[in-house]
Amino acid sequence: MKTSVTKKTTIKRTWHLIDLRGQVLGRISVEIANLLMGKNKTYFTPALDCGDYIVAINAKDIKITGNKAADKMYRHHTGYPGGFREYTFAQIQAKDARSIILTSVKGMLPKNKLRDPRLRRLKVFVSDQHPYNHQIKGAYASPAKNA
């Protein structure tokens, strides 16, 4: 039996449609990160970008458990004096629900040179309208939704 080496020419990228309605943020973010890395493929190699394209719809309907809607804080600093900003999950969801998904998935990807190209293949939409209908073959059956 021969060992095969994955090359860039052998990587096949497919498109997945994931409906975020009613999904728990952390659970679905792990699945999205694994699909972006290509961990579901038999020829997965950590040093190569083997992942697929993800179209995530209904980002405004994502849910979280417990009291995180009021307690979970998103923090950043603008770089200016007094520029420390804090926002709750509910505030971010009302302003831009896409950024919640992007931030969560970004934190679950490895911190290396492949993270930005992988994140570019993640397309998040607030509603169920998106321009990628002709590329998607079928909807992704999420194990988290069935659990």
Number of domains comprising the chain:
1
Q: What is the CATH number of the domain that holds 96?
A: 3.90.1180.10
Q: How many CA atoms lie within 13 A of 143 on its CB side?
A: 8
Could you tell me if residue 8 is inside a domain? no
Could you tell me if residue 58 is inside a domain? yes
- Mark out the alpha helices in the chain (DSSP H runs): 25-37, 68-71, 89-95, 97-108, 115-120, 143-146
Task: Give the residue numbers spanning the domain of 136.
Answer: 14-146
Could you tell me if residue 7 is inside a domain? no
Distance CA 107, CA 32 (A): 12
- Digitized pLDDT (tens) for each residue of the chain, 147 residues in all: 788 888 889 899 999 999 999 999 999 999 999 999 999 999 999 999 999 999 999 999 999 999 998 899 999 999 999 999 999 999 999 999 999 999 999 999 999 999 999 999 999 999 999 999 998 876 666 665 554
Could you tell me if residue 3 is inside a domain? no
Q: 0.95 cut: is pTM over it?
A: no
Could you tell me if residue 36 is inside a domain? yes
